[in-house]
Amino acid sequence: MIQARLLFGCLLAGVLPAAQAWEYTLIAPDKPVQNWSISSDRLGLRDGLDFSVGVHRLSGGRQEGSVLIEIDTGTLQLTVVATRGMNVLRAQAGTLRLGWDSPVREVVNPAFVNLESRGGLGWLEGFNELVARAGFEWVGHPGMDRGQLLTLHGRASYLPASQVVLTIDEQPPHRISLKGVLHEEAFKQANFRIDTELVTQAGASSFTLHDRLTNQGDQAAEYQVLYHSNFGPPLLGEGSRFAAPVREVSPFDARARQELGEWQTYRAPTPGYGETVYNLYPYSDDQGRSLAVLHDRSAHQGVALAFNVHELPVFTLWKNTDGKAQGYVTGLEPGTSFSYNRSLQRALGLVPRIEAGGTRDFTLEYRLLPSAAAVRQALGQVEKIQQGRPMRVQEMPLAQEPRASENGAAR
């Protein structure tokens, strides 16, 4: 049975009491995962802010043993995969969905995925999330780097959480926090701890992700991170549009260069299309805050993704407007790096290092835009950050990958 612990906080050196909170350990090394749920009703709350959280262990097929944590704010339903990097599988508010329809229908357990299969593209055998973490030792296309085979986008998305803790504030607006701990460790290689947190609240139509990377080793190490934020219909369709304050845009490869003039707009599902990818350097405000927006053709609904360029300085726009059965999807991807193999990104200054014992923080906010007014407001924020500053269009790719990586399936 999952036990609750009532937490007490204090402010001003213990003089003023802060809000109390319930804490539940959902996953820990010393206890088996079990189906479980809690709700505002069961907690005896009667303030009209209804919410619930549930834990479900899946069975059958390749999803045997996968663990889902479902959060319903009363407005937004979120699903987190505890066994897959604490990734966000999907989000839904009424008829507005954040996520996409991948050919991978199961929530695949990492035990059934070999990242080195398909020439290093095994990552794709489970890829179906709304938010999928790439990193933290490396990101990018598979290939050799300093004698080591790097598989597609690293291991983070296939790391099961070793501990997951849920915290719910007793007082309105009932902040809901879901924390997970990931370990990316190998003898004589990476020694990383990743503390993840998803935060929302009762009635909210938004959520925030905060990750803290800690280098537990005794020497500095390279790291990379990229957040795949993937959207399909109803936000993605013919005439849908992407907007962000952009300092520079360039095509990822020769294929993307052919369509550089339409990099911000989308096509209808086109069987055999494959993908085009664009590298962006975003502008930000004085605090480093930037914003990306995707909206439908009519600009009546969309999503806004906020991030900080001091943490995530570059942005990848992935346009996979292939046929529906193949996976009709676009990716909005803030990161420390682009999607080239790591061996090509050192020259671009996009393979940062973290000192021994050091930490790095990454924060992203996802906000639903359910109306034309909400879309206009978000686009106004983009224009305010741009402030009329010029956007440079760089026609040549920043790097040249071997032809073997240009196979239309390397995302």
pLDDT tens over the chain, length 411 residues: 566 666 644 433 344 345 699 999 999 998 889 999 999 999 999 898 999 999 999 999 999 999 999 999 999 999 999 999 999 999 999 999 999 999 999 999 999 999 999 999 999 999 999 999 999 999 999 999 999 999 999 999 999 999 999 999 999 999 999 999 999 998 888 999 999 999 999 999 999 999 999 999 999 999 999 999 999 999 999 999 999 999 999 999 999 999 999 999 999 999 999 999 999 999 999 999 999 999 999 999 999 999 999 999 999 999 999 999 999 999 999 999 999 999 999 999 999 999 999 999 999 999 999 999 999 999 999 999 999 999 999 999 999 988 644 444 445
Residue 121 CB burial class (10 angstroms; 0-12, 13-18, ≥19): buried
Beta-bridge mates of residue 118? none
Q: What are phi and psi of 198, to 5 degrees?
A: -110, 130
Number of residues written out for the chain: 411
For 4-399, CATH gives 2.70.98.10
| This prediction's pTM | 0.93
Q: State whether residue 261 is helix, strand or coil.
A: helix
> For the chain, what are the domain ranges?
4-399
Rounded CA-CA distance 27/33 in Å is 6
Torsion sign over Cα 158, 159, 160, 161? negative
Rounded CA-CA distance 22/2 in Å is 12
Beta-bridge mates of residue 96? 93
The helix or strand, by DSSP H or E, that contains position 11, with its residue range, turns out to be strand 10-11
**What pLDDT score does 409 carry?**
47
Q: State whether residue 366 is helix, strand or coil.
A: strand
Rounded CA-CA distance 386/12 in Å is 39
The helix or strand, by DSSP H or E, that contains position 296, with its residue range, turns out to be none
Look up residue 205 and give its two tokens.
């139509």
Rounded CA-CA distance 226/140 in Å is 9
Strands 21-27 and 36-39, sheet pairing: unpaired
